[in-house]
């Protein structure tokens, strides 16, 4: 069933059962369209939402290119290109119409932003093919995927190519050869400057790390834009980041460092807020975000890996249907009836 108005379509009733009436005098305007209500639409389409997310991602992407130069641009280009191509191929194989709705661009861009700048481009392509082909289309396409496609792509690359996925370079912008370095969360990370200078570097993005996760400022601008446009719900990012800070405090670690380090900012604003793979109701979103914060800090503190954002979100993606099941809304007039029934019996 589509809401499309089909010219000349009659409603459910049978027009032949209607005895011939004299033709209406004002019939010069041709056929009337019959369609179910409502006859107004807000116009905020899936496509528009996707392109607004792309617009928001331009901020961290800009930072990536600024800090990591043309290499970053190449990773982004390959990732987006292969995402779109894979989506097109999958739709053709599944005999479904290919719609350029922007969701493949979002996935491609997000995947690029969570990859290290030095990664070989063929690995980027592989990650994009997996993200779209397996994590998204194999599950039925946009709206049916269980896992965030970009994070699934990153995860498969991380387990397949652990060395390339953990080789980081210091931001060098354009021109100068990249120098290998450690990310702030890495065990070998050494910072010789003052603590303030470290926060400064992490906030603006002048540290080693994945393309788009280094500049907290740019992520805040992009994420703030989406919250302001009411595209994403503020609850998930703020609660997620808040819980991470509280956990860090409880564990005797530096909360500000944990907020700015690694993929937390980009994960909280752009990955955990993915509509399809996060809970529906506000209650569900709160549970989801709290669990994310706890899991992330558990992995960072006790896990075998320095960073836990990616796996926390993927794990919670899997739990989302369960959360949805137990966090349904209470409709108007429902509790009352139970009370009435109880008092009657």
Partner 1 sequence: MAIILKKRGSPYGIKVPENKFSEKQKIKVMPLPERLVIPLQQNIGAPCQSLVKKGERVLAGQKIGDSDKFVSAPIHATTSGEVTGTTTVVNPPTGALVEAIVIAPDGEDKWVELEAVTDWEKLDVKDILGRIREAGLVGMGGATFPTHIKLAPPKGKEIDTVILNGCECEPYVTADHRLMLEAGEAVLSGLAIISKVLVPKQVFIAIEDNKEDAIEHIAKLIKKAGYDFQVAPLKSKYPMGAEKTLIDLILHREVPIGGLPLEVGVVVQNVSTAKAVHDAVIEGKPLIERVVTVTGEVKKPQNLLVRFGVPIGKLIEHCGGMKPRANKVILGGPMMGITQFELDFPVIKGTNSLLITRSTTIEERDCISCGKCIEVCPMRLMPTLLARNAKTGNYDICKENYIDDCFECGSCTYTCPANIPIVQYIKVAKKELMKRAKK
Residues that bind partner 1 (CB under 8 A): 1-5, 7, 10-13, 15, 17-19, 21-22, 24-27, 29-42, 44-46, 48-49, 99, 101, 140-144, 233, 275-276, 278, 280-281, 328-337, 340
CA distances from 308 to 56, 297, 315, 344 (A): 24, 7, 11, 53
Nearer to partner 1, 29 or 159 (CB): 29
260: closest CA among 213, 190, 323?
A: 213
Per the DSSP assignment, residues forming a β-bridge with 236 are: none
Which one, 164 or 324, has the nearer CB to partner 1? 324
Give the 3-state secondary structure of residue 6: strand
Residue among 302 and 330 whose Cβ is closer to partner 1:
330
CB nearer to partner 1: pick between 41 and 302: 41
Q: Taking each helix axis from N to C terminus, what angle separates 282-302 and 235-250, rounded to the nearest 10 degrees?
A: 40
CB of 142 to partner 1, least distance (A): 6
Kindly state the smallest distance separating residue 45's Cβ from partner 1, in Å.
5
Distance of closest approach, residue 36 Cβ to partner 1, in angstroms: 4
Give ∠ CA 66-68-70 in degrees, rounded to 5.
85
- The least CB distance from residue 19 to partner 1, in Å, is 6
Of 143 and 250, the one with the shorter C-beta distance to partner 1 is: 143
As a dihedral over the C-alpha atoms of residue 271, residue 272, residue 276, residue 280, rounded to 10 degrees, the angle is -160
Comparison of 4 and 159: residue with beta carbon closer to partner 1: 4
Q: How far apart are CA 58 and CA 72, in angstroms?
A: 13
Pairing state between β 180-181 and 168-169: antiparallel
* Closer residue to partner 1 in complex, CB, 9/162: 9
Shortest distance in whole angstroms from residue 11 CB to partner 1: 6
Least distance between partner 1 and beta carbon 154 (Å): 21
- Whole-number minimum distance, CB 263 to partner 1, in Å? 23
Helix residue spans in the chain (DSSP H):
46-68, 70-93, 103-113, 121-129, 149-160, 195-204, 216-228, 235-250, 255-260, 264-266, 282-302, 309-326, 334-344
**Does residue 317 contact residue 148 with C-beta atoms inside 8 Å?**
yes
């Amino acid at each position: 069933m589509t809401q499309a108005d089909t010219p000349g379509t009659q409603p459910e009733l049978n027009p032949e059962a209607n005895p011939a009436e004299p033709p209406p005098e004002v019939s010069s305007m041709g056929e009337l369209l019959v369609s179910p209500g409502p006859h107004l639409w807000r116009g905020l389409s899936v496509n528009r939402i996707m392109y607004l997310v792309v617009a928001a991602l331009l901020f961290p992407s800009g930072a990536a290119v600024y800090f990591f130069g043309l290499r970053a641009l190449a990773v982004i280009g390959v990732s987006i290109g292969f995402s779109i191509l894979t989506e097109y191929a999958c739709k053709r194989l599944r005999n479904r119409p290919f719609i350029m709705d922007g969701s493949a661009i979002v996935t491609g861009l997000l995947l690029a932003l969570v990859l290290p700048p030095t990664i070989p481009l063929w690995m980027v392509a592989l990650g994009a093919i997996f993200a779209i082909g397996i994590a998204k289309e194999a599950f039925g396409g946009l709206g049916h995927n269980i896992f965030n496609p970009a994070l699934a792509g990153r995860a498969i690359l991380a387990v397949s190519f652990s060395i390339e996925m953990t080789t980081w370079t210091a931001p060098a912008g354009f021109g100068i050869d990249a120098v290998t370095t450690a990310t702030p969360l890495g065990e070998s990370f050494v910072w010789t400057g003052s603590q303030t200078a470290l926060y400064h570097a992490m906030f603006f993005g002048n540290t080693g790390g994945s393309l788009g996760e280094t500049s907290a400022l740019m992520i805040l601008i992009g994420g703030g834009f989406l919250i302001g446009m009411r595209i994403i719900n503020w609850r998930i990012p703020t609660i997620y980041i808040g819980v991470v800070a509280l956990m860090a405090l409880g564990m005797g670690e530096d909360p500000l460092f944990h907020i700015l380090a690694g993929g937390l900012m980009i994960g909280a604003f752009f990955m955990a807020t993915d509509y399809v793979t996060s809970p529906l109701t506000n209650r569900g979103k709160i549970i989801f975000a709290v669990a994310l914060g706890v899991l992330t800090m558990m992995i960072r503190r006790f896990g075998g890996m320095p960073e836990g954002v990616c796996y926390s979100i993927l794990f919670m993606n899997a739990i989302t249907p369960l959360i949805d099941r137990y966090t349904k809304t209470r409709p108007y007039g429902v509790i009352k009836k139970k009370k009435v029934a109880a008092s009657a019996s």
